[in-house]
Amino acid sequence: MAAGDELLIGPAAGLGDEQARMNQSTRGQWDWYASHRRAIERLIVPEARGQRICVLGAGNCNDLDLNWLARAYAEVRLVDIDGPALERAVVRQGVAGSAAIRLHAPVDLTGIEGLTAGWKGRAVSEAEVAEGTRLAKETAEAIGGGGFDVVLSPCVLSQLLVGVRDLVGKDHRGWPALKAAITARHVGRLVGQTRAGGRGVMAVDLTSTRVVPGLDRAGEGEVADLFRMCVREGKCFRGLEPAAVGKELRRRAALREMDVSAPWVWHLGFGKAFLCYGVTVRRA
């Protein structure tokens, strides 16, 4: 690790523990992420030399070729709640000595990680969820001074939401408000960290084989129609449809343009796949 890298490692609890366990279970899946990495790279090709990129929720970095990023960008900030996962990633990909790459951890992207430590395995009160909603609405701190040319969220929003939903319960009265607050916080941070004229990029995993059996067997020519069907029939994680994500992005700041990419299938093991798309916005 190069001198000057910003790595702050502290004890994780609640959501942090859950994310660390997930990262441990998937860290050996580099090969499964190959086509997914290429799809994400196409979204974040730099537009000029010397640019800066911030990745929110980098985790194991299986979806990021760190050698490519270090060559393509003058500065790469990797942000996650799980510091050890970031450390393992830079070592595994051989970039631990890169002056371009800096690590930021633990950074809680939900704003409520500390509150959730005792939520698992019990009924969470309405007062606790309301407090979580209040905390999630607070302004997120800046990372690395902000003003990045590109800020990337690589299929992170769904992880944040599912992690909290599984603790609270999808039928909890307070879940819709908490879900909206976490979404707004994440999207607000993505746009807020982007400089004027820069790009905010979200890769979004809209649905999976759990909801759409046979998704893993979809041919390349079927993916676009399958994507439209999932949105039309609600066979997806509600709130992650392009229209919903676009609406949230437009609420955050003045935008010059917004583009939704062609969808792709991300295969993650035998019989397991996610249907993904990218949305790119440019700040005015």
Q: What are the pLDDT digits (tens) for 64-103?
A: 999 999 999 999 999 999 999 999 999 999 999 999 999 9
Q: For the purposes of burial, counting CB atoms within 10 Å of the CB of 24, is it exposed (0-12), middle (13-18) or buried (19 or more)?
A: middle
The per-residue pLDDT for 5 is 34
Nearest alpha carbon to residue 117 among 7, 8, 11: 11
Q: Write out pLDDT tens, residues 95-136.
A: 999 999 999 999 999 999 999 988 988 999 999 999 999 999
Residue 103: name the closest of 126, 119, 81, 79 by CA.
79
Q: What is the pLDDT of residue 25?
A: 67
Find all residues with CB under 8 Å of 10, minimum gap 6, and list them. Answer: 83, 106
Alpha-carbon dihedral sign for residues 95, 96, 102, 107: positive
pLDDT digits (tens, 9 = 90+) for 163-219: 999 999 999 999 999 999 999 999 999 999 999 999 999 999 999 999 999 999 999
Average pLDDT over residues 231-236: 97
- Residue 278 CA to residue 203 CA, distance in Å, equals 4
Averaged pLDDT of the chain: 91
Measured CA to CA, the distance from residue 283 to residue 78 in angstroms comes to 21
- The mean pLDDT of 135-145, rounded to a whole number, is 92
CA 100 – CA 111 distance, rounded (Å) = 27
User: Residue 76: phi, psi to the nearest 5?
Assistant: -125, 115
**Cα 55 to Cα 61: distance, rounded to the nearest angstrom:** 10
| Inter-helix orientation angle 157-168/175-192, to 10° | 160
Q: Which residue has the higher pLDDT, 152 or 139?
A: 152
Res 152 pLDDT > 60: yes
* pLDDT tens digits along 234-262: 999 999 999 999 999 998 878 889 999 99
Residue 56 or residue 144, greater confidence: 56
Architecture of domain 15-283: 3-Layer(aba) Sandwich (3.40)
- Average the pLDDT over 259-273 and give the result: 93
